[in-house]
Structure 1
């Protein structure tokens, strides 16, 4: 399964490894459809879920899929995590995304990459950062061989710290993860919003995630996808400002002003990033006349 890695602004739809659910998830329009073998599966159902996930991924590989397909394993320090690794290794499947939960050291990532022969191929292993200890060890974790990116786990982090699962309480770990991932040149995906009846809260969280520098956000239901995608899409004002900045910079050939603001190399780079994000969103009209688009 050599699907492309998730692009910036990606939506991750996470679904239990239950027959019938994955087919819906991979056709829902998310950039990543992720089968979960961990939290959404009770202990007594792990073996059946593992077999179902392998079957779904095998069928999807034969048919082809527009979505990037992924699998959240159980923690490799557990018996079920080891069984997951063996099952995937023996199946010959190599999902484009392998999400490892409860990561607190680079060794967990490197173990999964080595067992699944991912060390010399494209990075596939993503670390789920969901404990205070993991936040404190980010530099080491982000240096792991075979690491493709990181995902924030709000629910487990809040449970581990005893904090509320609110924007204010989780601002620090989210910001720390986004900054550290950027420093390592890796994408970071924000935690899902778990209240399906709170679209305003989802919109607010997704906008904050975009502001913090996350590349996308998880979802637990297909109806959350449009709101997430909208939050990561450059607004008309963002695009207008970016166009003005690039036009002024191209005309001046150096530091100048646009709209009453100084325009120098950092602002030009940011403007080009905005136009790149717009170009990667097919439902956002982008003029070909815009410099840098």
Structure 2
């Protein structure tokens, strides 16, 4: 019997990512015609970007478009979680992003703070959002070697809901390539730190749009490492990510066999298919079943929306 580790269980880095949403879709805030398409894509989280994808001269217009869309979405009250990646919290544009949300009294389900390198980079955002709209969650984008070094401080910042990895900026700052091998170290560091803080971690986007097999390989690696999800840059990447994060029938069968054996043993150590099974594997089995349940729910929701 072989039981794969789950993002909510533990991976090769020895970490537990905790609860999370597996599919995120990022969309440039400067292209409002894509917003509705992103919402209808089936992603669990739609992230509208006000930072890297928006030229400096277009920041104000993108901010207005994003908040106007958020207003319409607030009236609908349905669909995926809506997130906004603001500009760096210590920048003028980042301050304008938060000020505009406060002025319009329009707060997304989550705010992603980029360029985070210490807990101080998100504390001001957290204080403002907590005072205005406590339901909005704050996520930190980890995308530099300095951020990796400061992870123990960042992940324990009060009010932080989770972390995301930005491989492109990290590779540029580290002088490395964006390859699986080059990203193993920062990815494991992020998973381990997030697990220690009891928050989820979401893996970086895969940037090639015409390489589904390579995307699948990287998404499976993200599952094995312990990430709770992965960001997509195009809707057609979502099914590949969903498939990678959903347990296979054999994984579900093995997990259910472990849980059944554990129940018969009254919670003690037992044997399943010749393998010793104790509490860690039982916890991992429960996580696999939960993952399967999330996958079934997501599939059912997609079918309902399509009908």
| TM norm structure 2 | 0.88
Residue by residue, what CA displacement relative to the aligned partner does 1:126-162 show, whole Å, maximum 9, x if unpaired? Answer: 0000000000011110111111100000000000001
Q: Which stretch shifts more, 216-225 or 12-21? A: 12-21
Match of 1:191 among 204, 217, 235: 204
CA distance in 2, matches of 1:278, 1:8: 13
Name the counterpart of 2:276. 262
1:101 counterpart = 2:118: no
Question: SS at the partner of 2:32?
Answer: coil
The alpha carbon displacement at 1:284 in A equals 8.5
Equivalent residue for 2:148? 135
Contact 2:138 2:161 in 1 (8 A): yes
- How many Å apart are 1:283 and its aligned residue? 6.0
Distance 1:271 1:71 in 2: 34
SS in 1 for 2:88: coil
Match of 1:90 in 2: 103
3-state DSSP of counterpart to 1:69: strand
Q: Identify the residue that residue 33 of structure 1 maps to in structure 2.
A: 46
**How big is the shift at 1:8?**
3.1
Q: Give the number of aligned pairs.
A: 280
Quick one: structure 1 residues 102 and 79, their matched pair in 2 at CA, closer, same or farther if it must change by over 3 Å? Answer: same
* Match 2:234 to one of 204, 221, 229: 221
Asked if 1:234 corresponds to 2:234, the answer is no
State TM-score, norm by structure 1: 0.92
Give 1:289's aligned residue. none
- The answer on 1:170 being equivalent to 2:173 is no
**Partner in structure 2 of residue 117 of structure 1:** 130
Aligned to 2:20: 8
Query: Residue 88 of structure 1 contacts residue 116 of structure 1 at CA under 8 Å; is this kept in 2?
Result: no
The residue correspondences of 1:6-85 to structure 2 (distance < 5 A) are: 8-17=20-29, 18-85=31-98
Q: Secondary structure at the match of 1:281?
A: helix
Separation in structure 1 between the aligned mates of residue 35 and residue 179 of structure 2, nearest angstrom: 29
Q: Unaligned stretches of 5+ in structure 1?
A: 1-5, 286-293
How well do the aligned residues superpose, as a CA RMSD in angstroms?
1.7
- Report the Cα distance in structure 1 between the residues aligned to 2:135 and 2:119, rounded to whole angstroms: 17
Give the Cα separation in 2 of the matches to 1:284 and 1:142: 28
Q: Distance between the aligned counterparts of 2:281 and 2:48, measured in 1?
A: 39
For residue 273 of structure 1, the aligned residue among 256, 277, 287 is 287
1:215-253 CA deviation, whole Å, 9 max, x = no partner?
A: 000000000000000000011121111111111111122
Which structure is richer in relative contact order (CA contacts within 8 A, separation 6 or more)? 2
Cα deviation digits, residues 48-87 of structure 1 (max 9, x gap): 0011011010111011221000100000111111111111
